[in-house]
A and B are shown apart, each in its own frame.
Chain A
């Protein structure tokens, strides 16, 4: 099983005991705040708070770092060129035609801090409640049922498509295919991707038929019953207040200026 398709761990912490609705609402608000931050100190502080929360949520270190590592590879593609691309008149170093801008470094760090914060918050959500509870909580927070079902099915069938991709890879390898930088390799990869899409579409048709045969009418129904305790409300207020304070610290100086 690949990194992306492994089943998330189940942690036992005070966060996993919170009502999923209040927790999801608070962490979504915090993620939205993180996405809007404009200054590096506020983004760094938010990242620190998210990492502290991850510690309190007892996320398995290896599982957490593996995912951050995958994110870092993705972020490197976008942020490493920034100091050379955002070459303004501000401070920096110049080597002939090349200019290394400190402003570019700051923007890159800001982007990284925001991305790591948001991913950390989502990993906390993922590890502290079963996916179906989180999705049911999302539905009770007025997220449309169709979107909730779509998320559940996408998650479910990622595993099936991953297995299908595995079978296709074996099928091409046993017929002598090896990854090389060549026109033939690119064409084969394209065919594999196309086959996967066609099979995915056909499977979606069959899944839809199976759902309709069991009376599905587009409504998301569940037996899960949530109950709110004072500690859920307290945790929600604490997290949203903290996020709001960080947003205010980030935005107020510019508004007053």
Chain B
């Protein structure tokens, strides 16, 4: 393979990586170091679980990847944009959609339609395209017909789906889901897992719900005290009893070995 061909191959492979993080560290203004020397890549179309105990740095990492926090890193590219560059960081909402832990933090308009239209309007799309995207996003999450409902009168599961629709309407190439099953009852959780299977795409899902991670992600990053402690196939990482217990987690029920006694 010639040098030029090799370079083209490297560029092609790199453009296929939707998230590239090298040596990422973040310290809050009060001096608390929450992320330390984080490095990982996520190729297009891969669904990756982010697990770790409380305070491990999962939400902070999401806020760094969505451009809210500005960490130190030797490489930080998400959806093809270099987040160290202010101009490219401004374009990030077109590429990255984040669904927060608490849907009440995310739904602020007076109707479901207005809330889902909020992002596309900020992208300054033509009105007809905004309406089309809202209709499509609501259909994908199964909420067609609720356009005129008031978001704060919806159930927890419906709120979560409206929050997801608001993000999908922006057609991001990367989806970040922070504790997506929090506040959901078993039915809402089942619906969410079904929805995640249908949606596909590049995803990073942070959750304590390890069964959900197992069902929706092929790969897992285990993070503790701001550092990545394990990166590998979900079934291998989550089934490692010693690793999980060392980092304050438990092997999911479905991966536990039956007792021999």
Contact = CB atoms under 8 A, between A and B. Distances in A.
Interface stretch (B8-16, B123-131, B233-241): B123-131
A221 interface: yes
Interface stretch (B21-29, B33-41, B63-71): B63-71
Contact of A210 (B106, B122, B123): B106
Contacts of A215: 93-94, 119, 122-123, 170
Interface residues of B, number: 36
A228 B127 CA distance: 20
B105 A207 contact: yes
A71 to B, nearest CB: 24
B110 interface: yes
A214 B105 contact: no
A72 B110 CA distance: 29
A7 to B, nearest CB: 7
Contacts, number: 78
A206 interface: yes
A223 B134 CA distance: 12
Given A209-B68, A214-B122, A215-B93, A156 B170 contact: no
Given A7-B150, A215-B93, A215-B170, A207 B108 contact: yes
Contacts of A141: none
Q: Could you say which of A7, A131, A214, A219 has the most chain B C-beta atoms within 10 Å of its C-beta?
A: A214
Contact of B110 (A131, A203, A207, A212): A131
Contacts of A130: 110-111
A1 to B, nearest CB: 10
Interface residues of A, number: 27
B152 A160 contact: yes
A214 B110 contact: no
Interface in B130-156: 130-131, 150, 152-153
A203 B114 contact: no
A152 B166 CA distance: 18
30 contacts: A131-B110, A152-B108, A152-B109, A152-B110, A156-B109, A156-B152, A157-B108, A160-B104, A203-B105, A206-B100, A206-B105, A209-B63, A209-B68, A209-B100, A210-B108, A212-B93, A213-B67, A213-B96, A213-B98, A214-B118, A214-B122, A214-B166, A214-B167, A214-B170, A215-B93, A215-B119, A215-B170, A216-B118, A216-B122, A221-B124
Interface of B: 63, 66-68, 92-94, 96-98, 100, 102, 104-106, 108-111, 114, 117-119, 121-124, 127, 130-131, 150, 152-153, 166-167, 170
